[in-house]
Structure 1
Amino acid sequence: MSAPKWIRVYAGPVLVSLVLVGAVAGAVYLPSDKDAAKADGCRADPAAIRAIRAEQILTQNPRLTRMDEAVEGLTCGSPSSFGSVSRRLTKPPTDTGSGAEVARYYAQLAQRSGWKPFEYSNYLYSATKETGGCPWWFLLRAEGDAYQLRVMYQPAGVPASDCAWAVDEPIFLQATIPIGK
């Protein structure tokens, strides 16, 4: 015995519509990562951001290079919470400077401004700076024909015991929620 003709004609489109409406409703009404961050108390630390933006390692660059505007980010939750201030460093296409030269420039600059190098870095250069709590961590990595400079800090509202990089070098994560200036 076969199903009535109207069921065969309308069942597929009705089911597809219900699935689409459910997916849209879930995306609109379920809490976002930003909502989860606010609920957990994790938030950007304006004082840390101002201080990091003033650091020489984010305000000075080697000759013949150009720094893009600083970008702030915030990641809250698993596996760790962190805030960051990043800048992209580009060089002219004719420049033959190597990553080692850029790393040497930032190592010298960091040393003069109170940063402690991390000896076993997975990046071109990595260093920490004590802040009285969770240290700031500076990471320099090659990114195609440019370099990425990033300083990571512990966000406000995150317990001191959640300092994931107090000893081990952090992973350079791209998945951060941009925050306003």
Structure 2
Amino acid sequence: MSVPRWIRSYAGPAVVSVLLIGAVVGGVQLRSGEDAAKASGCRADPAAIRAIRAEPILTQTPRLARLDDPVEGLTCGTPSSFGSVSRRLTAPPTGTDVAEFYAGLAGRTGWKPFEYSNYLYSATKETGGCPWWFLLRAEGDAYQLRVMYQPAGVPATDCAWATTEPIFLQATIPVGR
């Protein structure tokens, strides 16, 4: 038995329309990232940011490489909340050389490598609560270094990456803007 053509043509748009109307009538409210941060109490942690900015993995480079200025970010809400400090590394060495440099440096400065990383290199550092997580990935002709931390005001039980490598998200709210 064949479904009439008019049903196939209009069923999808009708379902989407019903869902949108239901969301509006039902009071579902989409919030901007800043509104979600305010509502949840999630905020940047200045002490963690200062400590992360001083970490050798964000201050030292392989020979002939250069780091751009640090960029701080904050993501609050579902599925997890995290703060981050990132730096862009421009370097002539290959990805393998860069990964080896940061693996050695991380090992000497208290970071524990994540064995099954989806990135060039990934490691955690215990902080007494939710660990910091360092991610190194290739980004075009450069590399992105990022340390993620748990923001202030987020419950200790909301440590999404305590055992599972976080996803390198680009959508973060710049801190201090």
Do the structures match in fold with TM over 0.5? yes
Work out the CA distance in 2 between the residues paired with 1:112 and 1:170. Answer: 23
Work out the CA distance in 1 between the residues paired with 2:101 and 2:31. Answer: 44
- The alignment of Structure 1 onto Structure 2 pairs a total of residues equal to 148
Match of 2:164 among 162, 165, 168: 168
Work out the CA distance in 2 between the residues paired with 1:165 and 1:34. Answer: 22
Matching of residue 116 in structure 1 with residue 112 in structure 2: yes
- Structure-2 residue corresponding to 1:155: 151
CA-to-aligned-CA distance 1:45-69 (integer Å, 9 cap, x gap): 0000000000000000011111000
Unaligned segments of structure 2, at least 5 residues: 1-29
With normalisation by structure 2, the TM-score equals 0.81
Over the residues paired in the alignment, what is the CA RMSD in angstroms? 1.2
Instruction: State the shift of 1:31 in Å.
Output: 4.9
Which SS does the other structure have where 2:153 is aligned? coil
Which SS does the other structure have where 2:147 is aligned? strand
Query: Kindly, what percent of the aligned residue pairs are identical?
Result: 82
Alignment-mate amino acid for residue 122 of structure 1: N
Q: 1:122 to 1:31 in 2, by over 3 A?
A: closer
Which SS does the other structure have where 2:97 is aligned? helix
Work out the CA distance in 1 between the residues paired with 2:96 and 2:152. Answer: 35
Which SS does the other structure have where 1:123 is aligned? coil
Which SS does the other structure have where 2:163 is aligned? coil
Instruction: State the shift of 1:154 in Å.
Output: 0.2
Unaligned segments of structure 1, at least 5 residues: 1-29
Instruction: State the shift of 1:32 in Å.
Output: 2.8
Alignment-mate amino acid for residue 38 of structure 1: K
- Structure-1 residue corresponding to 2:65: 65
Work out the CA distance in 2 between the residues paired with 1:139 and 1:36. Answer: 25
With normalisation by structure 1, the TM-score equals 0.80
Match of 2:141 among 145, 160, 166: 145
Work out the CA distance in 2 between the residues paired with 1:32 and 1:126. Answer: 30
Deviates more, 1:31-40 or 1:65-74: 31-40
Work out the CA distance in 1 between the residues paired with 2:105 and 2:81. Answer: 27
- Structure-2 residue corresponding to 1:4: none
Work out the CA distance in 2 between the residues paired with 1:36 and 1:108. Answer: 38
- Structure-1 residue corresponding to 2:27: none
Work out the CA distance in 2 between the residues paired with 1:36 and 1:173. Answer: 17
Structure (1 or 2) with the larger CA radius of gyration: 1
Which SS does the other structure have where 1:161 is aligned? coil
Which SS does the other structure have where 1:162 is aligned? coil
Which SS does the other structure have where 1:164 is aligned? coil
Work out the CA distance in 2 between the residues paired with 1:101 and 1:46. Answer: 32
- Structure-1 residue corresponding to 2:44: 44
- Structure-2 residue corresponding to 1:21: none
Alignment-mate amino acid for residue 95 of structure 2: G
